[in-house]
Chain A
Amino acid sequence: MPSLGELERTIMDVLWRASSACTAKQVQDSLITRDLATTTVLTVLGRLEHKGFVVRQRVGRAHQYRATATREDHIAELMTDALGTAPDRTAALARFLGGIDESERVTARRLLG
């Protein structure tokens, strides 16, 4: 049994590759390497929706799912955090190089008035 994390990655990959919104059944069918129950797919989609990576929309009687952002957008978001270039930063992560110097500069600027 693959872990939930693995399933989330697999299903996100399907949605990122898909050109349009997919139903749970379509997601299930495109998972050629894995034979998952529809309920499992729905559970994982629900988790992804809760985390904000997937939106659900009702089309007729079916629910369709699509990714809220492209994979590239998400990578860009991670890199923005990682490089400390976002305007409102908390001490969320510790960088090998970079973040400290940024705060140093801001602090120095404030100290200098």
Chain B
Amino acid sequence: MVIVGLVLLGTGLVLAEPASAAMARATWPTRAPATALLVWQGLGLGAGIAFLSSGVLLALSSPLLLSAALWGITASLAVRLLGVLIITGVRTLRARRRHRQLLDLIATPWPDRPGAAVLDHPTPVAYCLPGLHSRLVVSRGVLDMLTGPQLEAVVAHERAHLAERHDLVVLPFVAWGATLPWLSGVLRSQLAVAQLLEMRADDVAATQCGAKHLAAALHRVSSHAGFTSGPSVSDFGSAANRRARRVLSR
């Protein structure tokens, strides 16, 4: 049992560190984001299960004092992982409900598009509020700035997030990234998953509406002055450029 426990502990360490580093370095995920997302979920789940079960096995086969310590560590890890997931989930739901209630009071329903609304603000923003009562929101700034087909590409991107419930995919990574920030594997996965979900939504939008229009929309929205403030503008532009280049080269 000790040997199995140690093997599991080693497996957890390999998944959490070298395996996640290799995944983060790999280039194939940009070509197959959906597959890469499954791999990240597998890595996360695998590492978690390996750590917890190794803790239980080692605790069962250790002398009394060590056993008590191992039980304590394992139990507190399990409670923490689950607790944080629940707390983050509840907080997210609460923030979403508040945002949705405000939207329903303030935003103008978008004619002929159920669940979509226009926010009367000159700054270009487009986003979706996931959940059972999902909302898709664009600001007047976006409507003024994009052509019809470009707007359709933005809408298709957001609808892909909603339809594929990307919010549920990202939730555990966000939750655990917040509690275990010292584990670089956890942070790496959080970063990679966020990017892969955007790629996935971009792929759906490019397939439905044409990569050309999506790329143009990315350029236009990102290049709008005043969209973000300070040094973030350049990061932001380069991220949009990367995404535009990727969909065009598909």
Contacts and interface: CB of A to CB of B under 8 A. Distances in A.
Contact of B195 (A8, A9, A74, A104): A104
B88 to A, nearest CB: 6
A36 interface: no
A112 to B, nearest CB: 10
B16 interface: no
6 contacts: A75-B106, A77-B102, A82-B125, A93-B99, A98-B228, A100-B239
B103 interface: yes
A82 B139 contact: yes
B107 to A, nearest CB: 8
Contacts of A5: 104
Interface of A: 5, 8-9, 12, 51, 53, 71, 74-75, 77-79, 81-83, 90-105, 107-108, 110-111
B99 to A, nearest CB: 5
A103 B125 contact: no
B177 interface: yes
B140 to A, nearest CB: 11
Contact of A100 (B157, B158, B188, B195): B195
B128 interface: yes
Contact of B99 (A51, A78, A91): A78
B157 A96 contact: yes
B204 interface: no
B106 A91 contact: no
A90 B106 contact: no
Contacts of B128: 93-94
A86 to B, nearest CB: 9
* Closest 10 A/B residue pairs (Cβ): A96-B126, A92-B95, A90-B92, A95-B127, A82-B125, A94-B161, A107-B191, A101-B239, A91-B174, A92-B96
